[in-house]
Amino acid sequence: MFRYARRMLNDQGDAEEVVQDAFVAAWKALPDFRGDAPLRTWLFTVTGRKAVDLHRKKRAIPVEDATLTNRPAPGAGPAGQAIQAGLLAALGSALAELPWLQRAVWLLREVERMSYAEIATVLNTTPTVVRGQLARARAGLQHRLEDWR
């Protein structure tokens, strides 16, 4: 949940706030949890809603181009870790440029390994929409991470 919130909001402090609020909301609503969806899916739904609420309160902050392209040369220093850290930073910046729904779909599918049906439940949409948004998200990320090929 924290990982999802952090990548959605691109801010550690905001993610912490969102996950805390999500856990508290889930705890209070637990007696009403009907089990129609798995607990994990339900928790991600609550987290997503809290993230949207917070996102709406804040203005988007433009990402600097350098963040997307400045990366250590392969093989420099402890190359593996440095490249992975750089790739993660670039991924975070690239994700931040994607529309909210595409970002959520990509994270839930590629990072959290959810099925299309589960993602549709979390985001209150249909599996068909999930497929479409995922394709757009992949294309968008491919374009933005071109320099990391």
Partner 1 sequence: MTDDVLSRAARAARTSPEPGWFDISATIKHRLRSVTRRSRPIRAVADNGAPLFIADRVLMSLLSAAIAELRCELDRVQLIGDSDTCTGAILDVATLYGQDLHDLADQIRTTAYLVFTDLLGPIDPPFGADGVDITIIDLTTNTAPR
| Interacting residues with partner 1 (CB under 8 A) | 2-3, 6-7, 12, 16, 19-20, 23-24, 27-28, 31, 34-36, 84, 87-88, 90-91, 107, 110-113, 138, 141-142, 145-146, 148-149
**Cβ closest to partner 1, residue 49 vs residue 138:** 138
User: CA–CA separation, 82 vs 58, rounded Å?
Assistant: 31
CB 118, CB 36: distance < 8 Å:
no
**Cβ closest to partner 1, residue 16 vs residue 59:** 16
Determine the 3-state secondary structure of 35 from DSSP: coil
Least distance between partner 1 and beta carbon 15 (Å): 8
Least distance between partner 1 and beta carbon 48 (Å): 17
Least distance between partner 1 and beta carbon 120 (Å): 18
**Cβ closest to partner 1, residue 32 vs residue 59:** 32
CA-to-CA separations, 52 to 14, 48, 130, in angstroms, rounded: 11, 6, 18
**Cβ closest to partner 1, residue 21 vs residue 120:** 21
Least distance between partner 1 and beta carbon 52 (Å): 20
User: CA–CA separation, 72 vs 89, rounded Å?
Assistant: 12
Least distance between partner 1 and beta carbon 41 (Å): 14
**Cβ closest to partner 1, residue 59 vs residue 114:** 114
Buried b (16+ CB within 10 A) or exposed e, 84-121: eeeeeebbebbbbbbeebbbbbbbbbeebebebebbbb
Amino acid identity, residue 7? R
